[in-house]
Structure 1
Amino acid sequence: MDRAGATGPGQRSRERGLGDGPGREVALVPSLRSRALSAALIASGRRRRFASAEAVRDRVAHTTRRPESHLPPRALGRVAEVSRTFVGAWPVYDAQPRGAEPAARVLYVHGGIYINELVRQHWSLVRTLVTEARAHCVVPAYVLAPRGTADRTVPVAADLLSGLIAGGGDVGTVLIGDSAGAGLALAAAQRLRDRTGAAPSRIVLISPWLDVSMSHPDQAAIEAADPMLGRPGLAEAGRLYAGTLDVDDPRVSPLHGSFAGLPPISVFTGTRDVLTTDSRELLRRARADGVEVDYHEEPGLPHVYPLLPVPEGRAARDRIVEIVRRAGAE
Structure 2
Amino acid sequence: MRQTEPTEHAPGLSLGADAFKLLLRLLRRKKLYSSVQGLMDGIAQVRRAGPAKPSGAMRKRLHVHTEQVAGCEVFTLRPKVGASDETLLYLHGGAYVRPITSFHWAFLQWLVSSRACTVVVPLYPLAPESQCLATVQAVRAVHDLMASRHGQINAFLGDSAGAGLCLALCQDLTQSRAKLPGRMVLITPFVDATLRHPGIAATDAKDGMLGPEGLREAGRLYAGPLGLEDPLVSPVRAKLHGLPPTQVHIATDDILSHDALIFVDKARASGSSVDLHIGHGLMHAWPLLPIPEARTSREAMSAFLSRR
**TM-score, length of structure 2 as denominator length:** 0.93
1:15 to 1, 7, 19: 7
Over 3 Å counting, the alpha-carbon distance change for 1:172 and 1:143 in structure 2 is: closer
Contact 1:2 1:296 in 2 (8 A): no
Secondary structure at 2:100's aligned position in 1? coil
User: 1:147 — aligned with what?
Assistant: 129
Q: Distance in 2 between matches of 1:279 and 1:214?
A: 11
Question: Following TM superposition, by how much is the alpha carbon of 1:310 offset from its aligned partner in structure 2, in angstroms?
Answer: 1.2
Offset of residue 314 of structure 1: 1.2
Measured after TM superposition, the shift of residue 172 of structure 1 is: 6.0
Bigger mean CA offset, 244-253 vs 31-40: 31-40
The one-letter code of the counterpart of 1:112 is: G
Aligned to 2:213: 232
CA distance in 2, matches of 1:202, 1:252: 21
Q: CA deviation at 1:2?
A: 5.7
Q: Which runs of 5+ in 1 are unaligned?
A: 4-13, 17-25
Residue 24 of structure 2 aligns with an amino acid whose one-letter code is L
What are the equivalent positions in structure 2 for 1:31-180 lying under 5 Å apart?
31-64=14-47, 66-169=48-151, 173-180=154-161
Determine the C-alpha separation between the residues in 2 that align with 1:321 and 1:278. Answer: 25
**How far apart are residue 67 of structure 1 and its match?**
4.5
Distance 2:51 2:238 in 1: 33
CA separation in 2, counterparts of 1:72 and 1:243? 31
Q: How many Å apart are 1:323 and its aligned residue? A: 2.5
Question: Which letter does structure 1 place at the counterpart of 2:183?
Answer: R
> What CA distance in whole angstroms lies between the structure 2 residues aligned with 1:238 and 1:270?
20
For residue 196 of structure 1, what is the aligned residue in structure 2?
Answer: 177
Q: Structure 2: any 5+ residue segments left out of the alignment?
A: none
The one-character-per-residue Cα deviations of 1:113-143 (angstroms, maximum 9, x if unpaired) are 1111111110011101111011100000111
Q: Tell me the SS of whatever aligns to 1:196.
A: coil
Residues 15 and 62 of structure 1: is their aligned pair in 2 closer, same or farther, counting only changes over 3 Å?
Answer: closer
> Conserved in 2, the CA contact under 8 Å of 1:178 and 1:205?
yes
In the TM superposition, residue 103 of structure 1 has moved relative to its aligned partner by 4.0
Aligned residue pairs total: 306
> CA, structure 1 residues 172+224, in 2 after alignment: closer, same or farther (shift >3 Å)?
same
Check whether the contact 2:36–2:213 (CA below 8 A) recurs between aligned residues. yes
Q: By how many angstroms is 1:265 displaced?
A: 0.7
Q: Contact between 2:66 and 2:73, CA under 8 Å: does it hold in 1?
A: yes
2:267 and 2:148 mapped to 1: Cα distance? 25
Report the Cα distance in structure 2 between the residues aligned to 1:49 and 1:55, rounded to whole angstroms: 5
- Partner of 2:240: helix, strand, or coil? coil
- Give the deviation of 1:247 after TM superposition: 0.6
The more displaced of 110-119 and 70-79 is 70-79
Q: Distance in 1 between matches of 2:261 and 2:159?
A: 16
| Structure 1 runs of 4+ with >3 Å offset | 61-64, 162-169
**Which moved further from structure 2: 37-46 or 140-149?**
37-46
- Displacement of 1:306 after TM fit? 0.2
Say what the alpha-carbon RMSD is for the aligned residues: 1.9
Question: Aligned letter for 1:38?
Answer: K
Query: 282, 299, 316: which one pairs with 2:297?
Result: 316
Shift of 1:102: 2.2
Query: Does the CA contact (< 8 Å) of 1:146 and 1:240 recur in 2?
Result: yes
Contact 1:133 1:322 in 2 (8 A): no
The more displaced of 218-227 and 40-49 is 40-49
Contact 1:229 1:274 (8 Å CA) reproduced: yes
Distance 2:110 2:37 in 1: 36
Give 1:144 deviation, angstroms. 1.1
1:63 is displaced (CA, Å) by 3.8
Does the C-alpha gap of structure 1 residues 88 and 172 become closer, same or farther in structure 2, counting only changes over 3 Å? closer
The superposition leaves residues 230-262 of structure 1 with CA deviations (integer Å, 9 ceiling, x where unpaired) of 111101111111112111111111111111111
| Contact in 1 for aligned 2:53/2:105 (Cα 8 Å) | no
CA contact (8 A) 2:14 2:292 kept: yes
Normalising by structure 1, we get a TM-score of 0.87
- Give the deviation of 1:27 after TM superposition: 4.3
Question: Is 1:303 aligned with 2:284?
Answer: yes
